[in-house]
Structure 1
Amino acid sequence: MTHTGWSDFSFDGIGTRWEISTPEELPDGVRASLLGVVEDYDRSYSRFRDDSLLAALAREAGTVTLPAGAGELEQLFRKLYRLSNGAMTPLIGGSLERLGYGAGYALRPLGHPVPAPRWEDVLEWNGTEISASAPVVLDIGAAGKGQLVDLAAAVLRSAGITEFLVDASGDMLHSGAEPLGVALEHPYDPTQAIGVVEVHDGALCASAANRRAWGDGLHHVLDGATGRPIETVVATWTMAATAMEADALATALFMVDPTVLEGEFDFSWLQVYSDGYAAYSAGFEGTLFS
């Protein structure tokens, strides 16, 4: 989703496709900085590579020091863990691997679903320091891609670029004078749209059960309290000032009542349920097709 006439810089990172769109072609130095930020983030947080910082905690109990932005992740996850009564948790990685969504992408369940460990039982996370009292598979994907979108935007702004679109496969941050119309992908048919929304100087993020689905009813949005895929909500979209917050709230909408989230976050939202029903906030200024 790009502005007509803009230049695109596309690459793969953290397992997804990125498109950075700007009015002028990006200098080589800025491109190198963007690729470096994405690689550094992957090396810190990925649960799909053996050499990441978080992978060390999956092998044995201990403490690792994460990059500066880890404190923002901690605060966001801690709040959503509380609001969801443990359903949304960075400890969901082991439950995902149990259902087959691990480093090898086997996509075959290894057994019955297992709940995530309780945060208060195994994890101490204070800013950049994170300690586990037992081996744990951490997964910060519910907010991590959004945070990386924000970090990419910071690279552009530091280079004096004020008009841009950072799009990480549907999680996007826009900056510029002119709003951008974005189609909302149909949760059951990626060739169709269920509506359109305008993004302007902010983030739009989406989460859908069909994006990473396999087997019989298996997908990547799990309830941490049970380890089971969530079946009621099938797709969400959120708009917020930062992509990190919008990304996390798109997942939270699968398991937390929107009015509860609205009490603590400034965002707008759209939910689509498995029966086709759609609900949305007053601030979600889009057009849904009938």
Structure 2
Amino acid sequence: MSNLLPEIKALGTIWWIEIFSEISDKDKQVVYDDLLVFISEFENKYSRFRQDSLITKLNDTRKIENPDHITIDLLQTGINLYKQTEGLFNILIGEILENRGYDANYSFLPKEANLIIPNPTEELSISQNLITLSKGRIDLGGFGKGYLIDLIVKRLKDNFNLEYFLINGGGDIYATSDNGKPIEIYLEHPIEKDTFIGTTTLFNQGFAASSPHKRKWKAGDKIFSHIVNTKEEPISIDGTFVKADTVAKADAFATVSLITTPEKIINFANKYNFSVAFIKSNDTSLFYNKNW
């Protein structure tokens, strides 16, 4: 049995939530209403595209007083990912993206600037009473949606006693199971629209995919992307697919896998216990690690 909730538009994408347990129409509406508010509140607090969000406040005023535990954990997770990825994943890329034109107005009009990405372990200070930001501007796009999905997973289990479901937030996915059966999903080709290059199954796992081709724009004779190559290594990957125990981890490492070597991708996967598949540039084969 499958119960698909009405779609939700948030964080620049469409959300689908499917429940595989028996649930009445009344209870399904209660779940939908709750998640609609929960997702909206998260977006209002943590999107850099909103002028009244906490992230915009931190970027502009350089401090947040008396932060709640989710804000603390969210930003600390960003710092931890920076350390785990040896600096490849960096939440202080907001200014770079804004200068490329990926700003609150979606102007896509780049500005000439030679910016250095700050180190969040040095410039972002987090305590129970105060968060301060010395340099840079925060962007949580690299893992924020995945983090939110993980919160929703916990919410569905704890608040509604739901066991079997799938959450799809614009391609970032978490699936428990379909009454004990793994759930099969399709892997979309990163360049060829509406083309699938394979399938994989999820069983109490998160999933994310990333590609430098998905969100790009042209200004003058230059092409810009939402992917910030923090180490300025040549990008040789057209698309990545990651499965992990959390969607936040899958989200972050799907992005990181685009801006490093295939060898380092596999090393990260083995070290941090996730599965990865990727397509190299000019190659139609799907490469993956042994756990895929």
Among candidates 15, 18, 24, match of residue 18 of structure 1? 15
Is 2:185 the partner of 1:178? no
Matched-pair contact (CA < 8 Å) for 1:43–1:52: yes
SS at structure 1 position matched to 2:92: coil
Q: Determine helix, strand or coil for the equivalent of 1:102.
A: coil
Does residue 110 (structure 1) correspond to residue 111 (structure 2)? The answer is: yes
The 5-angstrom pairing of residues 146-225 of structure 1 reads 146-157=146-157, 158-176=159-177, 177-215=180-218, 216-225=222-231
CA contact 2:10–2:40 (8 Å) conserved in 1? yes
Q: Would you say the 8 A contact 1:209–1:234 is kept in 2?
A: yes
Moved more, 209-218 or 91-100: 209-218
Deviation string, structure 1 residues 61-114 (Cα, Å, up to 9, x no partner): 223444423444344322332344433211011101111111111112112453
Residues 271, 127 of structure 1: CA spacing in aligned structure 2 closer, same or farther, 3 A cutoff? Answer: farther
1:18 and 1:175 mapped to 2: Cα distance? 17
| C-alpha displacement of 1:128 | 8.0
- Give the corresponding residue for 1:288: none
C-alpha distance in structure 2 between counterparts of 1:5 and 1:61, whole Å: 46
TM-score under structure 2 length normalisation: 0.86
One-letter code aligned to 1:151: L
Deviation of 1:231 after TM superposition, in Å, equals 2.9
Query: Does structure 1 residue 36 correspond to structure 2 residue 37?
Result: yes
Q: Deviations over 1:91-148 (max 9, x none)?
A: 01110111111111111211245332232443213478421125x4211111110011
Of 84-93 and 235-244, deviating more is: 84-93
Residue range with higher mean Cα deviation, 245-254 or 163-172:
245-254
Equivalent residues of 1:54, 1:64 under 8 A apart: no
Q: Which runs of 5+ in 2 are unaligned?
A: none
Question: Residues 272 and 163 of structure 1: is their aligned pair in 2 closer, same or farther, counting only changes over 3 Å?
Answer: same
Aligned residues: 278
Q: TM-score, normalised by structure 1?
A: 0.87
- Which of 182-191 and 22-31 deviates more? 22-31
Amino acid at match of 1:242: T
Verify: 1:282 aligned to 2:286, yes or no.
no
**1:270 and 2:277 are equivalent in the alignment:** yes
Return the structure number with greater relative CO, CA threshold 8 A, min gap 6: 1
Gaps of 5+ in 1: 285-290
Supply the distance in 2 between the matched residues of 1:278 and 1:217 (Cα, whole angstroms).
26
Q: Which amino acid aligns with 1:249?
A: F
> 1:10-52: CA deviations, max 9, x gaps?
1111111100111344533222221121122112211001100
Q: 1:287 aligns to what?
A: none
Give aligned-pair identity as a percent.
26
The C-alpha deviation readout for 1:243-271, integer Å capped at 9, x for no partner, is: 11111111121234124313541110012
Q: What value does the CA root-mean-square deviation take over the aligned residues?
A: 2.3
Stretch of structure 1 that moved more, 124-133 or 273-282? 124-133
Partners of 1:63 and 1:6 lie apart in 2 by: 40
8 Å CA contact 2:2–2:18 kept in 1: the answer is: no
